[in-house]
Structure 1
């Protein structure tokens, strides 16, 4: 008679193997798959090491074969193993890039983007260097947290007149001008020493910032004058325009804390 397994006995292996299920694949993971295939490692073992499901690994294999071959599943696996055995230097990144219409980003391409952003390299020149469109280059700059929006990208690097990115920039610029800025502060001390929550709407980011500065000054002065010990107050500034949802342009939210004060 066998002893019934616990929930952990049954569920833990599944959670471990699929822990990264649904997460975007990185260049390092694709490289690991290729290296393991070249040494004959079974797909199930590769999946275990990468904390992916075997199905996800097989799906990745398809992206590492030329799109023109239309290989899937076992056929893609077999073709890759044979190709890697015959040609160890097989350029699997070219196949991966072809499957994504040229928007597959490698660590070396990311490094170029980071340096170009620092230097202010014109976007058209940068896009040509990494072999992508200006729009795809902009999106990657946002993914790398270099740019917050199309406004940031074009204001810093420019764009080609009449292109797709310029059209988005013009829409974003108009949406930015019509935006409102909402300031919220939790745990704020007013001039009477009462802890309150604050919310206000402003026509510009600058006006909201000035209000935050004024309220912060009052918060600190009240704490000192009344010798109050209070925890940090948290604030958040959100910019929104009428077309933000439709165009997905929005504005970068900012947040922070007003440091706590301890009575002497």
Structure 2
């Protein structure tokens, strides 16, 4: 069964996330209800609060992640006016994370959909680096990669984002998809290289026995489609699966 991920899963933490978190803590919501209110997994909320406690209390050993929400309840009980925004902004700055001001997501989403603002204009409006904006676009699914961000919004000549896009283009030109098919009795029966995932998947479909083939032609197979660049090893995506024939109904 496929896990249903919360709406803000893997998205960058923004001002509104912290606001909802501390609002829920002050309301006395349970850990699960806080996670629902923020739109993230409970473990993700606890991890971020644990990091924040570590930053706020430099000389105090941070709690275990499972106790992070309870620890912050104690902090808010002792100091109801705890300046979470100031502390969160300072935490982001000290750890190299961008601080997304209120409404930043709407600004970024509108800019991407309309194409009316350049990357330079966005960096000045939001006071964050262009590579942080590109990362937001990719992580939220607006863009599929850094190359697409640069082509749509532009970048600073000679800057970090331009360099990242250039490296990404070089790698994309060397990207291949490897299809390997093995049969249970005799091992590897097919290996091929493809220029994209779709052609590798099409080739796989043509190799697997059809559903109406005689049972003796439908032996168990295992397959793998791997995204690779020469010299990178196994750091890219790999998809695998199995084909197990079913006996014909009598």
What's 2:120 paired with? 124
Residues 179 and 193, structure 2, Cα contact 8 Å, conserved in 1 = yes
What's 1:12 paired with? none
Are 2:202 and 1:210 equivalent residues in the alignment? no
Q: Which runs of 5+ in 2 are unaligned?
A: 1-9, 36-41, 61-70
State the distance in 1 between where 2:191 and 2:87 align.
52
Are 2:100 and 1:81 equivalent residues in the alignment? no
Are 2:88 and 1:93 equivalent residues in the alignment? no
Deviation at 1:103, TM superposition (A): 0.4
One of 142, 154, 158 as aligned partner of 1:158: 154
What's 1:149 paired with? 145
One of 149, 166, 173 as aligned partner of 1:170: 166
What's 1:240 paired with? 229
One of 60, 63, 69 as aligned partner of 2:52: 60
Residues 135 and 164, structure 1, Cα contact 8 Å, conserved in 2 = yes
Deviations 1:12-46 (A, max 9, x none): xxxxxxxxxxx99955663356447768x8xxx98
3-state SS of the aligned residue for 1:238? strand
Distance 1:108 1:233, change over 3 A: farther
Residues 134 and 159, structure 1, Cα contact 8 Å, conserved in 2 = yes
What's 1:200 paired with? 192
Q: Which has the larger radius of gyration?
A: 1
What's 1:137 paired with? 133
Are 2:18 and 1:30 equivalent residues in the alignment? yes
Query: What is the TM-score when the length of structure 2 is the normalising length?
Result: 0.55
Query: What is the TM-score when the length of structure 1 is the normalising length?
Result: 0.52
Number of equivalences: 211
What's 1:219 paired with? 208
Deviation at 1:199, TM superposition (A): 3.5
3-state SS of the aligned residue for 2:163? helix
Residues 183 and 199, structure 1, Cα contact 8 Å, conserved in 2 = yes
State the distance in 1 between where 2:201 and 2:107 align.
38
What's 1:114 paired with? 109
State the distance in 1 between where 2:105 and 2:221 align.
37
Residues 123 and 157, structure 1, Cα contact 8 Å, conserved in 2 = yes
Q: Which runs of 5+ in 1 are unaligned?
A: 1-22, 85-89, 189-193
